[in-house]
Amino acid sequence: MGMETELKGRDSGHGLRGHAAGLWLLAVWLWLGCAETAAQEDLLLWQEDLELLAGEDGGSDGWADELEALADLRRAPLDINAATRAELERFPFLDARQVEEIQAYVYLHGPMKSIHELRLVPGLDRRTCELLAPFVRVDPGEGGGAPRVPTLRQLLSRSRHEVRARLDVPLYRRAGYATDYLGPPLRHSLRYRFSATSRLRFGFSGENDAGEPFFALHNRRGYDSYSGYFFVRDLGRLEALAAGNYRAGYGYGLVMGSGFLAGKSFSLSTARRRQGGLRPHTSTGEYDYLRGAALKVRAARWLALTAFYSHRRLDATLEADGSASAIQETGLHRTAREADRRRALTMQLAGGRADVRLGRVEAGLTGICYGFDRDYLPRQREYSRYYLRGRRFFNAGADYRLRLGPLTLEGEAATGTRGYALYNVVSARLPWWGLSALLSHRLYTHDYWAFFARAFGEGGGPPRNENGWYAALEAAPAEGWRLMASADFFASPWWRYRVSKPSRGTDLRWQAAWTRDRGLTVLGSYRLRLKERDLAGTGGAVVLPTRHHVVRLRLVASPGAGWTLRTTADGNRFCHGGLPPSQGWQLVQACAWRPWEGALRVVVQAAYFDTDGYDSRVYAYEEGLPGTFYVPSFSGRGLRWSACLSCEWRGRLSLVAKWGQTVYLDRTSIGTGTELIEGNRKSDVQLQLTLAL
């Protein structure tokens, strides 16, 4: 899985405890070549932004696909002077206006002579330039005119074969291995990838989760999950061709969304980011993708057409009458019961897309039809009375973007078998203090059926049962400063999970960051969420307001000699009506050391956390294996430390090894049921070996 999240138990202790954590750094002096380790480090700036999103919707394995796409671009950077609009829009940290500003700068001033000229582009602040710089190059001889189509020989001259093996070894044993789990407690995968710049990619992979049998029982063919993809892009009129496993997202996600960067964050870009069209599914995630074929062609200078088809089998719980009552998203087949759900439901989808661009006006039409081979009838609760159910469905939507001077108007309207959804945004870049402003409105009816939709809103999941206004301001009042404030006011006309009545809520955020040229960044943020929730034990008869305060202070310093230090302090307080509040805090210290350029990198991290329970849990980003993004959450009281070593030899062979341990100071066991671990320690080792040619 690309996104790996841990949720721990609860604890009744609080306050400052006199426990300390030590950090041990083992310096291994090697003289090696350099390659992918540098790329992994360059992604860390963006990963810190993703960390802020992790608590929004529980994450998505689409993040792993995005990380791998950026790693490919790091190895073969785009020429900023010849990059097309579609190529620039692939960067998740650039919005449409910034893409236009980059292209306008090259058109008006000629090809850039240095990558440092990015700082002269209007609308690009220092952080955006830092995020973009590793993935682009400058060729002063290029720029202007139509982009050239590379020959097959040119593509193959910059090709790369890569074989990657991963092994996760838990140094503990869950109770399920003595009773229910059918396989060994090892997670392992094998992957092959071929890439020729970013235009041609194909690969395949096999993966087994811990507890799944290997070449036995229901996995007699070896791995539990196999995946393959073939993807071509930007070859003349052929803008994209996908076969095998792929992803598709259009407009603002009201019909089809990739599930990536759909939540609220400390950035305006997530509220106005359009979906990225077709992308290969390169991760080992087993749920959120399509399987079949898709084609996008440039029919005219102003018109692009896309057609796609998918046929795949999903894990589902079947009832005695043959209907499916639940779709399983975990991809786990460790027990006989989980194996019975495997590929029990077949889904087919067919759809199309038309993109029109006429000057400052962009518009798109998306339509899909999809269905199952048996009735899908999820068990109804009062809050889920209007959820999707049946056998055949459709969705259609129209999206637009219009730029009027400093103003940009954009949005999407969609409908389907039942209900409808509307999302509209007006944004402006003002001439004072680098100020940007945004105002959006969303209206998702309580009965909107859209299985593939992922859109901006409160919480994760498909857009439905929500009416909200979101306003945000972002400013750079002085060199090195970046300020952001936002307010979201939302209401649900029908019941929600754990809210047994129509409800309202407010989400307020504030963040300030200050960066010096010498590698020092100070960041502070505050968030207040006001919502409503059922009082436990009342069966929904009593609904009380909740208040959740979250504070973060972070210091990042690069003192030199290959060192980077990051200190983070988090605190939060959760109040539910007049009940005693639940509080939590954590202190995290991370140290990264890279003595030679790309040859060796060591990251160690230690954290102490103390929370009263799950409602006051804390999150902390942690260095993981390349292509993964790891943000564990903790509740209770304890310590977490980890060490990650990355080294490479001549850009051909790389090894990443990670060890991590969590120690709880308030319990003698971890988890419940089949996930029960006897003892208060949970340790694991991860190894990844990559051979590149």
User: 102-137 pLDDT, tens per residue?
Assistant: 988 988 888 888 888 888 888 787 777 877 888 888
The CA distance from 94 to 89, in Å, is 7
Residue 352 has pLDDT above 60, yes or no: yes
Helix, strand counts (H, E) of the chain: 9, 34
Q: Are 350 and 363 in contact (CB under 8 A)?
A: no
Q: Using 50, 70 and 90 to split pLDDT, how confident is the model at 668? A: very high
Whole-number pLDDT of residue 386: 95
Q: Are 195 and 164 in contact (CB under 8 A)?
A: no
Whole-number pLDDT of residue 41: 42
Q: Using 50, 70 and 90 to split pLDDT, how confident is the model at 598? A: low
Q: Are 454 and 257 in contact (CB under 8 A)?
A: yes
- The label of the residue with tokens 């720029």 reads 143
248: exposed, middle or buried (C-beta count within 10 Å: 0-12, 13-18, 19+)? buried
Whole-number pLDDT of residue 129: 83
561 versus 586: the higher-pLDDT residue is 586
Range with the poorest average pLDDT among 52-61, 533-542, 582-591, 623-632: 52-61
Whole-number pLDDT of residue 50: 59
- What does each C-alpha distance from 141 to 85, 111, 118, 354 come to in angstroms? 19, 7, 17, 34
Per residue in 33-84, pLDDT tens?
333 333 334 444 555 555 655 544 444 455 666 666 676 677 678 888 888 7
Per residue in 496-508, pLDDT tens?
999 999 999 999 9
Whole-number pLDDT of residue 26: 30
Question: Which range is most confident: 160-164, 269-273, 315-319?
Answer: 315-319
Mean residue pLDDT across the chain: 85
Per residue in 1-20, pLDDT tens?
333 433 333 333 333 333 33
Spatial CB neighbours of 452, under 8 Å, sequence gap ≥ 6: 255, 256, 257, 349, 368, 370, 395
Please give the CATH number for the structural domain made up of 3-15+32-76+158-692. 2.40.170
**What SS3 state is found at 295?**
strand
User: Residue 191 corresponds to which tokens in the numbers above?
Assistant: 């992957």
Residue 614 has pLDDT above 50, yes or no: yes
Beta bridge partners of 96: none
Q: Are 295 and 405 in contact (CB under 8 A)?
A: no
| DSSP E strand boundaries for 133-213 | 136-137, 159-170, 187-196, 200-208
Percentage, residues of the chain above pLDDT 70 = 84
Beta strands 3-4 and 629-630: pairing type? parallel
The CA distance from 395 to 420, in Å, is 9
Whole-number pLDDT of residue 629: 73
Spatial CB neighbours of 656, under 8 Å, sequence gap ≥ 6: 625, 626, 644, 645, 646, 686, 687, 688, 690
Per residue in 86-105, pLDDT tens?
778 777 778 777 888 898 89
87 versus 154: the higher-pLDDT residue is 87
Whole-number pLDDT of residue 136: 87
pTM check: above 0.95: no
